Amino acid sequence: MKPRMARLDPHSYNDSAQPEARSLALRARVDLSAKTLEAEAELSFSGPASGRLDLDTRELSIEAVEDGRGARLPFTLHPSEPILGSRLSIELPADTRAVRIRYRTSPSASALQWLEPEQTHGKREPFLFSQCQAIHARSVVPIQDTPRIRIRYRAELWVPRRLEAVMAAAPVGRREEGEWAVESFEMPQPIPPYLLAFAVGDLAAAELSPRSRVWAEPPMLERAAREFGGVEEMIRVAERLFGPYEWDRFDLLTMPPSFPYGGMENPRLTFLTPTIVAGDRSLVNVVAHELAHSWTGNLITNANAEHFWLNEGFTVYAERRILEALEGEEMCALHAAIGRRSLEEAIVRFERHPELTRLRTHLSGVDPDEAYSQVPYEKGYLFLRTLEEAVGRDAFTRWLRRYIEELRFQSITTEDFERHIEGELPGALAKADAKAWLDGPGLPRNAPAPRSSRLEAIESLGGRVPEREMVASWTPAEWQLYLESVPKPAPLEACRALDERYGLTRSGNYEVLVSWLSLAASSSYRPALPKIEQVLGEVGRMKYLRPLYAALARDPETRPLAHQFFERYRQGYHPIARQVIHSVLSPA
Ligand code: BES
Ligand code: ZN
């Protein structure tokens, strides 16, 4: 009888009966003019393997497949399927220890953004970066692209010698060969493939602490170093809460403005949008979030995208514990209130897909990028808060530390989580009504409400324009909460008063700025249009593009503008952002 085969991840061709790769050796030449990687990937197994091996690929041209000793192996590259890409099937003879694949990536690889010099801070050199989460690693390397299967890796990147290459791994040296620099890296801890990451460009570094430095293009470096100067204190607080930091270094990379996310927790080298460099450290909760993933996510990973809340819900919880320790309960409550509002918006956005508002989801045939929302983040956070309230903070924190300690370097499902907490804190799940949280849609009735006197003060305004004395002490978080509480559309006079009195269109804090611009766009407040266009043209962070395009598209008068702006700026957006904005503007 044939072994039973099963797909344990709806987003991978990997079959649980097949051999699993343990390590990867990658060599890639970065061709910035052709926008391709010319590469060789060697996947090694833990023992002798045989039979069929199915790898995930997307838009790769496969040139040759060999075993570890250089003997050619027969392979089939199947036609591309939606979401998954192309299955690469390789027949392994008995006793195969490794497969070596020579291939080339496509200029439209979904994980890569190739930037022209004008799209960078320095404007002089091109830039390349990868963004593999959730299922884009396969457009860079043929691999078992499922977080179930962790690998260690070594990598060698060949880049033009005037540039730097950085990777989410330990650097082990740079040598120069003619026009080329060869940068080598090693990742000794096993990681899920979505954490494979690199960037190439004109990069420089500044030291922040003995285990942390920030990388940026030279014109950004000083500002970035000031913004992130508190990182060591953050790491210490996080270690006190969650146990030792396991990844040796916590370096930061300030990305060009087109980076589609706020941050990405690539191990040893978190990628950060430059929009959080506000000048006053007011947006460093994003750093706390990516740091928190070093425990919740990178140490304990969701086994597939259906359990994404285990990554993000736990990380938002951990992020806010760090924030609470550093900035106090009130600040933490304000952030939770902002999160709560974004959750309510996401639930409305998914009105016709309530199944995507569960924590435990079913995603066969669903693209994780399409399912992405604040639900796993903020509903996950609230669920963990509910559990915390059910058992008390001390017991919950003790459980969390044991959960991290016992499941580290594993990839788990919601069922594994349930088993673990039920074993340690019997009855907690029932007491918190876990069933409703995990498998029910929307927001369960027992959701804890954010409470803070500052929040109440904002709510008592009922959207009216606040007096100067009141806002004198407002933090950016309060401004954001206030602006999001104003019913839309707001009267034009109110928009004018707000803008003229408080200079919102000039705000240097992107969260405040975009909350304001969304309100302005939803209220047809025309003086804000040039700034809206400027943001859409300069910034590629989806969190900002989405509400601005959506607000412009909602009003029949500005709808044509939304399409014009998209035509004008789409070339500069990341492939994933382009896809998302396309679906905002032309809903199915
Ligand atoms: N891992 C995510 C980013 C991500 C998620 C990339 C899914 C691709 C697919 C990262 O940790 C994140 O959540 N970033 C947030 C920041 C935050 C919640 C403070 C973001 O980008 O806005
Ligand atoms: Zn996250």
Fold of 299-451: Neutral Protease; domain 2 (1.10.390)
| pLDDT tens-digit readout, 523-558 | 999 999 999 999 999 999 999 999 999 999 999 999
User: Are 492 and 266 in contact, with CB atoms under 8 Å apart?
Assistant: no
| pLDDT tens-digit readout, 287-330 | 999 999 999 999 999 999 999 999 999 999 999 999 999 999 99
Catalytic residue among 261, 317, 377, 544: 377
Pocket lined around ligand 1, Cβ cut-off 6 Å: 133-134, 261-265, 285-286, 289-290, 293, 312, 372, 377, 543
Measuring from atom 11 of ligand 1, which residue has the nearest CA?
264
Determine the pLDDT at residue 214.
99
Determine the pLDDT at residue 4.
60
Q: Is 377 a catalytic residue?
A: yes
Residue 1 has pLDDT above 50, yes or no: no
Query: Cα separations (Å) of 168 from 154, 248, 252, 264?
Result: 11, 12, 10, 11
**What's the chain's average pLDDT?**
97
User: Are 145 and 204 in contact, with CB atoms under 8 Å apart?
Assistant: no
Residues 6+ apart with CB under 8 A from 202: 120, 122, 124, 125, 127, 162, 163, 164, 217, 218
Tracing tokens 């929302």 back to the chain, one arrives at: 373
CA 273 to ligand 1: nearest atom: 21
Determine the pLDDT at residue 338.
98
| pLDDT tens-digit readout, 382-431 | 999 999 999 999 999 999 999 999 999 999 999 999 999 999 999 999 99
Q: What is the dihedral of CA 291, 190, 261, 356, to 10 degrees?
A: -100
User: Are 447 and 382 in contact, with CB atoms under 8 Å apart?
Assistant: yes
CA of 320 from ligand 1 middle (Å) equals 15
What is the rounded average pLDDT of the residues 232-249?
Answer: 98
Q: Is 418 a catalytic residue?
A: no
Residue 454 has pLDDT above 90, yes or no: yes
What gap in Å lies between CA 343 and CA 376, rounded to an integer?
9
Domain boundaries defined on the chain: 21-202, 299-451, 463-585
Residue 450 has pLDDT above 90, yes or no: no
What gap in Å lies between CA 167 and CA 43, rounded to an integer?
19
CA of 183 from ligand 2 middle (Å) equals 28
Class of domain 463-585: mainly alpha
Taking the chain, what is the end-to-end CA distance rounded to the nearest angstrom? 45
Determine the pLDDT at residue 587.
81
The structural architecture, per CATH, of the domain 21-202 is Sandwich (2.60)
Residue 3 has pLDDT above 70, yes or no: no
Residue 473 has pLDDT above 80, yes or no: yes
Residue 104 has pLDDT above 50, yes or no: yes
Measuring from atom 15 of ligand 1, which residue has the nearest CA?
262
Give the whole-number percent of the chain exceeding pLDDT 90: 98
CA of 308 from ligand 2 middle (Å) equals 10
Q: Using DSSP, state whether 211 is helix, strand or coil.
A: coil
User: Are 84 and 364 in contact, with CB atoms under 8 Å apart?
Assistant: no
